[in-house]
Amino acid sequence: MKSLRWIALAGLLLIPPYAWAQVQESANDTTNTTVKSGPTTGVQGQQPRSTTKAGAYSASTTPTPSTKPTASTYEKKLTPTKTMAEATEKPITPASTSATKPAAPASSTAAKSATTAAADASKATSATPAASGDKKGEYSFGDFTSETLATKAWDALNAGDHKGVEVYTKKALSLYENKAIDMSKTVSDFPPKDKAFSYWALNDVATCYFILGKSLQAQGKDNEAREAYKTIVDKFPYAQCWDPKGWFWKVASAAKDQMALIGTKYDFGDYTSQTLTTKAWEALESEDHKAVDLYTKKNFELYEAKAKEQQASLKDFAPKDKAFDYWALNDVGTSYFILGKSLLAQGKVDEAKEAFNTVIQKFPYAQCWDVKGWFWKVAQGAQDQLSTIGTPYDFGDYTSMTLTTKAWEALGAQDAKGVEVYAKKCIQLYEEDAKKQQAALTGFAPKEKAFDSWALNDVATCYFILGQSYMDQKKYPEAKAAFERVVNDFGYAQCWDPKGWFWKVAVGARGQLNKLLALSGS
């Protein structure tokens, strides 16, 4: 009987990455408006996230898993979203890569039935005896199979019930460790997938030692935890743990990772690409560049081969309803993006460029999920980073509020290049949403509803700022075109002044057109 899957060991806090408006579907989630004579302080809601979903850990370099958030997920204000595999089952509600917990781990493999297991275990009986010690009274060993015991141990670990972990793992070890040692002596490499289930005792006993090590580590018993992990490496080097999505992960490899991390603040969690990407986002936000390097490179080690396979199967970006299927592509592409940002922050420009170019060249169809309901294109984000290296410009979290604010600041500083960079990026990302919001209105939205038209307000304001910058440079034809776009296409746009009122952007644009007429005579 095949074991259950490995459910995630802990819930995730997802850190959203930066968003792309072209896929944004939830206008009411955010409101970004700008100020009459300065940067906006409007309410914002479109904060993109990390992406992608992942399958359970596989210590092999090419696991075969299935991938809000975050990411999923971009800059310091944002949190990534969920990794792809989980999102396929339940699209991330947050940034998707998000607040939902991954599934809990399952026991390794047990190809034998409960009857056979009971026969092999001299202490097992057809009854269902229980061990005392549970907070509620008793622990039940169920059918006494190694699968059942390992599954119950996983459940206890997830619940923080360390007594339960001890009870179930030690029962499994007492019944099946000798069988596991015998099986281990018969193999000199990892059994192929079609044979691996035959080594049920080897797999489940090693997995129980791993669970026990995690429990001891969580209790601060580092020496005992190290001993449990070392037992796996020394006695059961070819044990594998089964994930129900269809692959095995190598228990000894995971044990080595745990030993290396004992005494540090780092932890690979459940080893899903989702968890690793989420942790990388969090590390980037906290400027822990060592952790960024650790988590992103573990993602590459485990999932890059699968990401390349998924990339090769695409000729364009996967549609939204299929995008989560490409969890490895999304999370690996996002991890290279995060690594590039980290390297850039450290002044390692050449290495950062290499990471961004890897996204563009190897994973051009990677997408990162934002829990509010859209994906952003990772390669496009990488291209933006490359285009601004060596300049004072930075798109921040890519929200329309941030871009509009930066455009206002650039206008105030008489930085015509900055105005163009930020205003045009806002227009590029959010103009389609702005047009939809304009079309949905028959008049100016009342104050309490005006923030809902964030894209309309910010895009129109960016055209206004752009027009003003051109006007200051005496580029009258370009200024005229920018102001006319506001009047003709975004007539119900409003810009928020932090003092407590909105001003109508089209009215302001008409005033500037009248000034232009006087200045240019045409």
Question: Is 490 inside a domain boundary?
Answer: yes
Q: pLDDT over 90 for what percent of the chain?
A: 65
What is the helix (H) or strand (E) element at residue 276, kind and residue range?
A: helix 273-285
Question: Is 15 inside a domain boundary?
Answer: no
pLDDT higher than threshold 80 for residue 370: no
CA distance 42 to 33: 5
| Predicted confidence band of residue 493 (pLDDT cuts 50, 70, 90) | very high
Which of 358, 388, 418 is at the close of a domain?
A: 388
pLDDT higher than threshold 60 for residue 118: no
CA distance 274 to 249: 16
Q: Say whether both 422 and 506 belong to one domain.
A: yes
Query: How many CB atoms lie under 10 A from the CB of residue 354?
Result: 14
- Tell me the average pLDDT across 199-209: 97
Question: Is 394 inside a domain boundary?
Answer: no
pLDDT higher than threshold 60 for residue 487: yes
Q: Say whether both 216 and 338 belong to one domain.
A: no
**Cβ(13)–Cβ(79) under 8 Å?**
yes
Please provide the DSSP assignment of 205-217 as one string. Answer: HHHHHHHHHHHHH
CA distance 31 to 400: 9
Q: Say whether both 37 and 65 belong to one domain.
A: yes
pLDDT recorded at residue 247: 77
Which of 357, 388, 419 is at the close of a domain?
A: 388
Question: Is 395 inside a domain boundary?
Answer: no
Q: Say whether both 301 and 430 belong to one domain.
A: no
Which of 364, 388, 412 is at the close of a domain?
A: 388
CA distance 301 to 59: 9
pLDDT recorded at residue 375: 87
Question: Is 14 inside a domain boundary?
Answer: no
Residues facing 377 on adjacent strands? 367
pLDDT recorded at residue 206: 97
Alpha helices in 440-491 (DSSP H): 447-450, 454-472, 476-489
**Cβ(72)–Cβ(334) under 8 Å?**
yes
| Predicted confidence band of residue 488 (pLDDT cuts 50, 70, 90) | very high
Could you give the number of structural domains in the chain? Answer: 3
pLDDT recorded at residue 421: 96
Question: Is 368 inside a domain boundary?
Answer: yes
> Which CATH number does the domain housing residue 241 bear?
1.25.40
Q: Say whether both 284 and 374 belong to one domain.
A: yes
Give φ, ψ of 367 to 5 degrees.
Answer: -130, 145
pLDDT in tens, 393-434: 999 888 899 999 999 999 999 999 999 999 999 999 999 999
pLDDT higher than threshold 80 for residue 191: yes
Q: Say whether both 128 and 165 belong to one domain.
A: yes
CA distance 485 to 192: 63
Q: Say whether both 165 and 295 belong to one domain.
A: no
CA distance 236 to 205: 9
Q: Say whether both 240 and 285 belong to one domain.
A: no
pLDDT recorded at residue 219: 95
Q: Say whether both 356 and 467 belong to one domain.
A: no
Domain that holds residue 292: 21-105+271-388
**Cβ(363)–Cβ(379) under 8 Å?**
yes
Return mean pLDDT, the chain. Answer: 78
Question: Is 152 inside a domain boundary?
Answer: yes
Q: Say whether both 276 and 334 belong to one domain.
A: yes
Q: Say whether both 280 and 162 belong to one domain.
A: no
From the list 236, 240, 239, 310, the residue with the least C-alpha distance to 273 is 310
Lowest-pLDDT range of 84-88, 165-169, 328-332, 430-434: 84-88
Most confident of 17-26, 247-256, 461-470, 490-499: 461-470
Alpha helices in 94-192 (DSSP H): 114-120, 146-158, 162-185
**Cβ(264)–Cβ(245) under 8 Å?**
no
- Tell me the average pLDDT across 70-75: 30
Question: Is 266 inside a domain boundary?
Answer: no
Please provide the DSSP assignment of 228-263 as one string. Answer: HHHHHHHH-TT-EEEETTTEEEEHHHHHHHHHHHTT
Q: pLDDT over 70 for what percent of the chain?
A: 73
pLDDT in tens, 122-142: 333 222 334 444 444 479 999
pLDDT higher than threshold 50 for residue 506: yes
- Tell me the average pLDDT across 460-472: 97
pLDDT higher than threshold 50 for residue 252: yes
pLDDT in tens, 309-360: 999 999 999 998 999 999 999 999 999 999 999 999 999 999 999 999 999 9
Q: Say whether both 227 and 190 belong to one domain.
A: yes
